[in-house]
Amino acid sequence: MTSIAENPAVLFTAPDQRYHFARWGRPLAPVVFGVGDESLLHLKDAILMTVGISGGTLAETDPELGANFMWFFCRNWDEALAVPDLDKLIPNFENLITGLKEQNATRYRSFGFDKDGAIQLCVLLIRVDAATEKLSLQTLGTSETFQSLLTFGENAFDVHSPIATIKVNNLCIVKPEYAAVVRAAYDPALPAASNDPAHALRVSARAVKLLSDIEDEA
């Protein structure tokens, strides 16, 4: 079976078969709204650990935006409508919220890009339903942060989850082949953004090498 490291193009290909890849062009500066202080600490720990997969780290502030990785938790989508200036960060915001209600969605992620096409902003909306409440903050933080590190396609994880749980300690981790793809994608020799499917071949070569090195060390 072909591993995702050998064929990462499927992660960045939209349903209409267009290839679109972008990674962050700056350190992530997270801010979280809608959770208590204790929950915030656990969530930020998970964000920090997951961002480390890319070889990057977190910043206290972004020099242009203040915060560039924004999490908003709500109990229903109408609460999101009441957040000041959120409509300035997400295009067609009211129509979006209407659509999320109709779909009974629990997640929405919006990216903003700089002049070179690199990610400069990610806004993450999370509606807390019964299923979300059952997730540990470490699992939620790991999963949502991972999916925010690159512009993954809409259906990238429909068949296989990039996340696994270690049964011994119930900790959530990113599967090695997916972690290798992310680390490879952040190689400084590669462009921060690309619409050329051939880009995936360069990511694949590096990801496969990373996995091979890990296996040799094991």
pLDDT in tens, 108-159: 999 999 999 999 999 999 999 999 999 899 999 999 999 999 999 999 998 8
Q: What percent of the chain has pLDDT over 70?
A: 97
pLDDT at 30 over 90: yes
Query: What's residue 216's pLDDT?
Result: 67
Q: Which stretch of DSSP H or E encloses residue 111?
A: strand 107-113
| Mean pLDDT to the nearest integer, 9-30 | 96
Q: Characterize the bridge pairing of strands 119-127 and 107-113.
A: antiparallel
**pLDDT given for residue 93 in this prediction:** 94
Burial letters 67-96, b for 16+ CB under 10 A, else e: bbbbbbbbeebebbeebeebeeebeebeeb
What values do phi and psi take at 81, rounded to 5?
Answer: -65, -25
CA distance 96 to 80: 11
Which pLDDT score, from 0 to 100, does residue 3 have? 86
CB 85 within 8 A of CB 161: no
Q: Is the pLDDT of residue 196 over 80?
A: yes
Cα torsion at 49, 112, 74, 40 (round to 10°)?
30
Band (pLDDT 50/70/90 cuts) for residue 218 is low
What is the structure's pLDDT at 217? 64
At 161-186, the pLDDT tens digits run 999 988 888 889 999 999 999 999 99
Greatest mean pLDDT among 85-89, 95-99, 157-161 lies in 95-99
| Arithmetic mean of pLDDT, 61-77 | 94
Beta bridge pairs of residue 89: none
Domains and CATH numbers, the chain: 1-22+153-218 (no CATH), 24-149 (3.30.379)
